[in-house]
Structure 1
Amino acid sequence: MRRIFGSKVVRGDQVRQKAHRKVHLRPTVLATPKDTWPKIEKLGLTMQQDGVRDWCQYFHFEHSPAYQKIQLRFWEAVDTFDPNSIAAILHAHPYHVDSLLQMSEVSRLGEDIQMASELIERALCSFESSFHTLFNYTQANCRLDYSRAENRSFFLTLFRHLSYISRRGCHRTALEFCKLLLALNPEKDPLCALLIIDYCAVRGGEYRFLIDLFHAWEPHRNLSQLPNFAFSVPLAMFHSQNREEKEGEGGGETEANKRLQDALLMFPCLLPILLDKCGVTLDPAVTSHSLFTQPIEREPNGLKLLMKLYVERSHSLWKEPRQRPSKYRLQGQSSQALQ
């Protein structure tokens, strides 16, 4: 470039680029601002500390009077059922989080997944720029109350962000966001992060984390009563033991087999629909047994929904090439469970 146009022209162009470069308020970790984004502005979204109870620090987001006016305009725009009204608010206030969430959904419904994901990342940057100085989400002792309206948008933003990055194949990163979502309110788990965290852990290869979580929470949360944990934990044990054997640490598969048999006895209706989703024909010894021939429609609606959610989300874990023996092991353990 210097040979063609001269050093003065190139230097002048670099100066102009620096002058027009977006200046952000502070570096962010949850999402990286892009140069094409508008400058991050403070609209009046702040975080306040509620106090410390049982070694946990409680916080909440707060809206200033100016932000409340924008929020009121947003709800009026929602009532019009016109996305252009929300887009107008977003044009005037590029980091209004509820407008970003709503327009992200509009983009998703329009099959523009890239734009939907980018709008969620902008919402994350907006939230992170308003964090309290004591809000350290890496220590797992910071809490937010989902029942407070101002906090709900942050939960939704995290949930949608981990969904989008999981779709991009970043399962290890999705697991970390799922941990954060669960840590913000582990007692109530308002967005049911426990129904997702097992999938993210197995897909991300974090088998030991899932096993440790199960052993730590099982006594007081009864995680084995959830179909996703009942089946994902033995699968994680199986792969963890295979990994240890490859590293020369031994192991065996006794506990994984026992856990899988317990899962099949507790949720027998899940086996036929899971293997059907994997494209595997059931063994005649299994199909002829009354335990596995009961239709899933007889189960309570809540349990039926949990089983279908697990099969729809996690069936690929049982049929990946590196895990292909798992689906045949599933049939073998079902036969042993009948004995």
Structure 2
Amino acid sequence: MSSRALRKLQNDDDLLASILASKEAKIKQSKPVVKETTPINRFAMMNDDDSESDDTDNSSIQDNEKKQSTEIAEPVKLMTKSQRRRQQKKKKQQKQQQKKKQEESGSDLEQPSEDEELDKLLQEFKKKDIKNLSKLANADLAMDSDSDFVTASESEQDDDEYLIESHEKITGDIETDTTFEKFPIKFLRHAEKFFNTDFRKLDPHSEFKLLFDDISPELLEDIDSVTSTSISPQQLKQIQRMKRLVRNWGGKNRRSVPNGPGGAPHTLKLTKIREDWIPTPRGELGMKLLGNDDLIDWQLWQRPTDWKDVIEQDLKKWKKVISFYKFEPLDDDINRKAITEFYLSVIVHPDHEALISLISSKYPYHVPALLQVALIMIRQGDRSNTNGLLQRALFVFDRALKATINFDGASCQLPYIYFYNRQFYLAIFRYILALAQRGAITTAAEWCKVLWSLSPLEDPLGCRYFIDHYLLLNTDYSYVIELSKSPLMNSYKQWYTFGLSLATVYSYFKIDEFGKAKNELQKCFYYHAPALVYLFQEKLAGTAMHTEKLDITKFPSELIEAKAYMSRFSAIWKEVVDINFLIDEISIILKSFENDKSLIDPKFLLDDDEIPDETDENPFFIGDIPINLLRFAILSEESSVMASIPSNIWSDCEVYEFDVLPPTPTSKESRDIIETVKSFIDDRDLASSQAMLLQDEDMLNQIRQLSLQQYIAQNETNNEE
């Protein structure tokens, strides 16, 4: 942790201490008590093992704190999160007992709620903390370890180059830059904080513990032990017997599985084993570190007009910072048979029952089938089994993860041209939706960060178009504000999405930074004028004069973004004061726009004959619409959003539910590089399986026809009699 972060922690703790001290002083005015307590060294909590060295290093800090403590009537001891939760639980119990006594005595006197007052104070503290973020981000001062003087830190001075002010224009455009030159690889060091580096946050039970204090560890253990899908007692007994034959399956924490030679144990990071999961001595997928040749092939697809030697020079820089991987089947024969049957049941002869049978008996850990069946269950209204199927699909990848993997945007990037990499993206996306359905919003937001980290630049499923929703539901305003100043949002126009721009406006407004909220709304209007006008007219019932040029039907990508945001608008903008602010400020901006056309991106004012032709061979666009926006729109399954997608997308492109808009070749050489579902299918096996299927269908038709003839003959005989 940097010295600036330490100083921020100390300042925050001092502010919280003063708030709590004033609170205690008000409560105990009638009973003043003076205690002599030793002030806590807040920095010592960070490393208990080095307490001796901390005593010498922080002696001056402790002296300062002792001086400050004499100015407070009653010193306050800062508590950990668990201690605060226990104290709040104790207060809640006392309040319930007090209420019960009042009801028994017939007293109608209302007692003031200390919890509500404390919550308000903490809300004010949180606002002040977020307001100080920009000051702390720009401060280049750090504590010198050899003296009490404050000196500038070189590493923190470097952070300034990553901060982007709201008035700075975004010049990058992915339509003309598939190499992402506007985002140098060194920026990933700064971007790490926007991704997930703590696997514990990916467990929804951690969130449920915070939401419900009365959930015991025993109850959570019971939840982990239940089956993930419907299963008969007989089948469950068979699985229990199989566990005795497979070493290292489950363990006390349900995170141990055998993997590798000799059944070596592997610790799961993302999932826990359920009772109905069939024990297997080996996983289905492996994780391969991509070599130089693989990376060159991938970049030749992404950058078809670049020279190979230029790509090789770039890769030398990237490989110093980033590790690229691909998931691949461990047993090609088993995978080929499973994929062939899957393809027949989904594409050639759609058969839901055959697909369910595929994962129930033959291939219980076949990821594409698991994800497809989970989607079928949702559409049939059966969500009870969906979560279990999604977790089983994630388990397959979890079992293959390298021990050194971290979702920080650098140690694990997964190129989207590989089929099973895309299945991992899809499994996470579907799991995020399932978590949101269960109310685990904080966990869903953390999984969004994981999904984004797998390919921060390409962002193949468009995390930038929906992550704002979960962040705001989680009131994570500081994350949004920091992101709004980072290159991850400002390097390219396509990265400054409509949702994230309005999320920044909302975040500033909620912490009473009204001036900054207005500035961000003006920036949003500059880059998303058609979408903002459409939102103003359709959702806020406003009237926009002289905006004929901003007809959103002329801008398909703006229409899709606007529709996607409006589908979740009411979940964020709830309070009347928030909506009134939006209406008033948009009205002011539109009035200014009547006299000043420079308030918007000039591309919105071009006539039809001035619009530049579509860029050829750009793998990140279909027409002039970002392909990741289209993937997100289709996967969202929001009818209004899907209806805004141009009809030619549905007719001209591959829109499989298990692989939405897979990458397409940009050259003859890249045809063999991109993996699709057909890459794992042998044409002879497919023809043989299809012939057998047709024979079965012919036989069934003959039986039906024979039965029908018998039925007719029997009826004729009965009529004659």
TM-score range, shorter chain: 0.7 to 0.9
Q: Which of 497, 506, 519 lines up with 1:258 in the alignment?
A: 519
Aligned to 1:174: 444
Q: Deviations over 1:45-71 (max 9, x none)?
A: 111112571411111111122333322
Aligned to 2:555: 300
Matches within 5 A, 1:279-290: 280-282=540-542, 287=543, 289-290=545-546
Structure with greater helix share of residues: 1
How well do the aligned residues superpose, as a CA RMSD in angstroms?
Answer: 2.8
Q: Deviations over 1:167-207 (max 9, x none)?
A: 22222111111111111011211111111111121111111
**AA of the residue aligned to 2:521:** L
**AA of the residue aligned to 1:53:** K
Matched length: 304
Aligned counterparts of 1:288 and 1:216: Cα–Cα separation in 2:
32
Aligned counterparts of 1:304 and 1:332: Cα–Cα separation in 2:
23
Do 1:264 and 1:271's aligned partners in 2 also have CA atoms closer than 8 Å? yes
Q: Deviations over 1:250-293 (max 9, x none)?
A: xx321112212332455444456546776x543xxxx26334x7
Do 2:518 and 2:585's aligned partners in 1 also have CA atoms closer than 8 Å? yes
Aligned to 2:377: 107
Q: Which runs of 5+ in 2 are unaligned?
A: 1-236, 244-248, 251-256, 258-265, 292-317, 593-721
Aligned to 1:6: none
Does residue 34 of the first structure (1) align with residue 274 of the second (2)? yes
Aligned to 2:325: 59
**CA 67–41 in structure 1, closer or farther in 2 if over 3 Å, else same:** farther
Aligned to 1:81: 350
Does residue 69 of the first structure (1) align with residue 337 of the second (2)? yes
- What TM-score comes out, normalization by structure 2 length? 0.39
- What TM-score comes out, normalization by structure 1 length? 0.80
Do 1:140 and 1:180's aligned partners in 2 also have CA atoms closer than 8 Å? no
Q: Which of 280, 285, 293 lines up with 1:45 in the alignment?
A: 285
Structure with bigger RCO (C-alpha 8 Å, 6+ apart): 2
Do 2:413 and 2:454's aligned partners in 1 also have CA atoms closer than 8 Å? yes
| Cα distance, 1:33 vs structure 2 | 3.0
**AA of the residue aligned to 1:230:** S
- What SS does structure 2 have at the residue aligned with 1:136? coil
**CA 53–37 in structure 1, closer or farther in 2 if over 3 Å, else same:** same
Aligned to 2:569: 314
Aligned to 2:581: 329
Aligned counterparts of 1:304 and 1:167: Cα–Cα separation in 2:
26
Aligned to 2:507: 236
Greater alpha carbon shift after TM alignment, 41-50 vs 191-200: 41-50
Aligned counterparts of 2:573 and 2:567: Cα–Cα separation in 1:
12
Aligned counterparts of 1:210 and 1:42: Cα–Cα separation in 2:
42
**CA 81–324 in structure 1, closer or farther in 2 if over 3 Å, else same:** same
**CA 231–41 in structure 1, closer or farther in 2 if over 3 Å, else same:** farther
Aligned counterparts of 1:175 and 1:140: Cα–Cα separation in 2:
19
Aligned counterparts of 2:281 and 2:370: Cα–Cα separation in 1:
14
**AA of the residue aligned to 1:212:** E
Aligned counterparts of 2:390 and 2:354: Cα–Cα separation in 1:
19
Do 2:531 and 2:558's aligned partners in 1 also have CA atoms closer than 8 Å? no
Aligned to 2:399: 129
Aligned counterparts of 2:272 and 2:440: Cα–Cα separation in 1:
15
| Cα distance, 1:304 vs structure 2 | 1.0
Does residue 117 of the first structure (1) align with residue 117 of the second (2)? no
- What SS does structure 2 have at the residue aligned with 1:62? strand
| Cα distance, 1:209 vs structure 2 | 1.1
Does residue 150 of the first structure (1) align with residue 411 of the second (2)? no
Q: Deviations over 1:224-253 (max 9, x none)?
A: 7421122111112222x24xxxxxxxxx32
Do 1:46 and 1:132's aligned partners in 2 also have CA atoms closer than 8 Å? no
- What SS does structure 2 have at the residue aligned with 1:290? coil
**CA 276–288 in structure 1, closer or farther in 2 if over 3 Å, else same:** closer
- What SS does structure 2 have at the residue aligned with 1:326? helix
Aligned to 2:455: 185
Aligned counterparts of 1:267 and 1:299: Cα–Cα separation in 2:
13
**AA of the residue aligned to 1:317:** I
Aligned to 1:10: none
Aligned counterparts of 2:268 and 2:551: Cα–Cα separation in 1:
46
Q: Deviations over 1:96-148 (max 9, x none)?
A: 11110111111111122232222111101111011123323357531111111
| Cα distance, 1:305 vs structure 2 | 1.0
Aligned counterparts of 2:464 and 2:480: Cα–Cα separation in 1:
11
**CA 308–288 in structure 1, closer or farther in 2 if over 3 Å, else same:** closer
Aligned counterparts of 1:172 and 1:21: Cα–Cα separation in 2:
37
Q: Which runs of 5+ in 1 are unaligned?
A: 1-15, 243-251
Aligned to 1:249: none
- What SS does structure 2 have at the residue aligned with 1:181? helix
Greater alpha carbon shift after TM alignment, 210-219 vs 90-99: 210-219
**CA 325–168 in structure 1, closer or farther in 2 if over 3 Å, else same:** farther
Aligned counterparts of 2:551 and 2:504: Cα–Cα separation in 1:
22
**CA 325–299 in structure 1, closer or farther in 2 if over 3 Å, else same:** farther
Aligned counterparts of 2:509 and 2:495: Cα–Cα separation in 1:
17
Q: Identity, % of aligned pairs?
A: 22
| Cα distance, 1:212 vs structure 2 | 1.4
| Cα distance, 1:29 vs structure 2 | 3.3
Aligned counterparts of 1:299 and 1:172: Cα–Cα separation in 2:
37
**AA of the residue aligned to 2:475:** G
Q: Deviations over 1:68-90 (max 9, x none)?
A: 33222322332220012212220
Aligned counterparts of 1:219 and 1:302: Cα–Cα separation in 2:
18
- What SS does structure 2 have at the residue aligned with 1:143? coil
Do 1:261 and 1:336's aligned partners in 2 also have CA atoms closer than 8 Å? no
**AA of the residue aligned to 1:331:** I
- What SS does structure 1 have at the residue aligned with 2:371? helix
Aligned counterparts of 2:577 and 2:554: Cα–Cα separation in 1:
29
- What SS does structure 1 have at the residue aligned with 2:278? coil
| Cα distance, 1:165 vs structure 2 | 0.9
